[in-house]
A and B are shown apart, each in its own frame.
Chain A
Amino acid sequence: MYDFEFDRPRTIAEAVDALRQEDAQALGGGQTLIPTMKQRLAMPSRLVSVREIAEMRFVRPADGMICIGGATAHATVAAEVAAVFPALAALAGQIGDPAVRNRGTIGGSLANNDPSACYPAAVLASDAIIATDRREIAADDYFQGMFTTALDEGELITEIRFPVPERANYQKFEQPASRFALVGVFVAQRAGGVRVAVTGASDDGVYRWVEAEEALTQRFHGDAIKGITVPEDGMISDLHGSAAYRAHLVAVLTAQAVAAAG
């Protein structure tokens, strides 16, 4: 990989300043960015490490919400939200492997928005808010297609605020080589209704399965989505699974998530 200048700011304000410099990029846990730099698919001239910024590392329950600092490691989320939001803890505890979970951060995962990543499904289904150094972004506005988000150049994810659902579950059908989701479905039920977010399946990245949401809001049971077909148009097709296979998994995993959410 090419060399770069390395900044280790201590505060969000310092990090935002550092990110204004030309060709600077944030470094979270590095679990995506470092392999990408090894392949020279990314070659920033300055890396701004945000992982040790104390004001970005926390898990804080607050009035029906759970707020998580942008630089919080997956392993910390898995351990610390287990009592309040078990579906989110289980999701974090299934990301990659223990070493990845010890370094990787929620902010890094959301900024990256890999089409097969797990957190985007939880954020979108829970209707969470992504807070940055300059604004708050609703989940529905944040995800804009594979590896594409509403973030501007140099914008830093400082916090994610999840309204805690009444019932929720994440079902991940693991792609065993990468350990990402071949398909993953997060189902969340709140007073206002049910939301269903699907990762790993669509060419457009994480999305809401609206037909299932409507049916499950009427009746929260796996049978409610029987007969709703998932079109294979626009589904990812690769050597790990065809578009038809992924479309099939979306329905199966949704029913399983509803059953497991109990």
Chain B
Amino acid sequence: MNKLSMTVNGKPVTGEVEGRKLLVEFLREDLGLTGTHVGCDTSQCGACVVHVNGKAVKSCTMFALEAENADVATIEGQAAEDGTLNTIQQAFQDHHGLQCGYCTPGMVMSAAALLRDNPRPDADEIREYLAGNLCRCTGYHNIIRAILAASGQEVAPLAAE
């Protein structure tokens, strides 16, 4: 076992982990932060996206020990303490950017990383950035609309093109 400490959503945390413990397993099993999802075994779905030192990464494809002393942000840290959704989360709700919600934590964390780098992306840039986030329900149109809206841009009222 290895001792481990990091900051998660602004709070210092510590743990004791085997080498093979994935960051997503540390978040979910050791810290009880089950908002970060696991949708595949092949690093392809993006349900597990979190930020490590400000960068979007797949927490299923990184060992917990690789995040030693890092600053980690997960979906649980996105809403305010009182549960008020942040702009991106609210836009997903307003524009029906989710159905079952399984992909949503990863989508929101990827969108947050995108908007930090590129505050007013166009629809193509959003699609391109979300290449590694799969959604089995929505057909993506409403996710794109939600992110356009979250970045303060007008969105067409119709979902389908």
Contact = CB atoms under 8 A, between A and B. Distances in A.
A34 B132 contact: no
Residue of B43, B46, B63 with most partner-chain A CB within 10 A: B43
Contact of B2 (A6, A30, A34, A96): A6
Interface stretch (B51-59, B74-82, B94-102): B51-59
A99 B65 contact: no
A34 B55 CA distance: 19
Interface residues of A, number: 28
A35 B42 CA distance: 5
A30 B66 contact: yes
Contacts of B57: 99, 102-103
A262 B55 CA distance: 35
Nearest to A93: B128
Contacts of B56: 98-99, 102
Given A8-B65, A30-B66, A98 B20 contact: no
Given A97-B46, A102-B56, A31 B132 contact: no
Contact of A3 (B20, B68, B113, B130): B20
A18 B119 CA distance: 43
B18 A99 contact: no
Contact of A102 (B2, B44, B55, B68): B55
B61 A34 contact: yes
Contacts of A37: 20
B19 A35 contact: no
B68 to A, nearest CB: 8
Interface string A18-47: 000000000000110011011100000001
A243 interface: no
Contact of B131 (A2, A31, A97): A97
Interface in B93-121: 110, 113-114
Contacts of A39: 41
B41 A100 contact: no
B62 A30 contact: yes
Contacts of B66: 30, 49, 51
Given A97-B131, A99-B46, A30 B63 contact: yes
Contacts of A8: 65, 68
B130 to A, nearest CB: 8
A34 B43 contact: yes
B140 to A, nearest CB: 14
Nearest to A46: B19
15 contacts: A3-B19, A6-B2, A6-B63, A35-B43, A47-B19, A49-B66, A96-B132, A97-B46, A97-B129, A98-B132, A99-B46, A99-B58, A103-B61, A177-B44, A178-B44
Given A98-B110, A100-B43, A103-B58, 5 more contacts: A30-B66, A97-B130, A98-B114, A99-B57, A103-B61
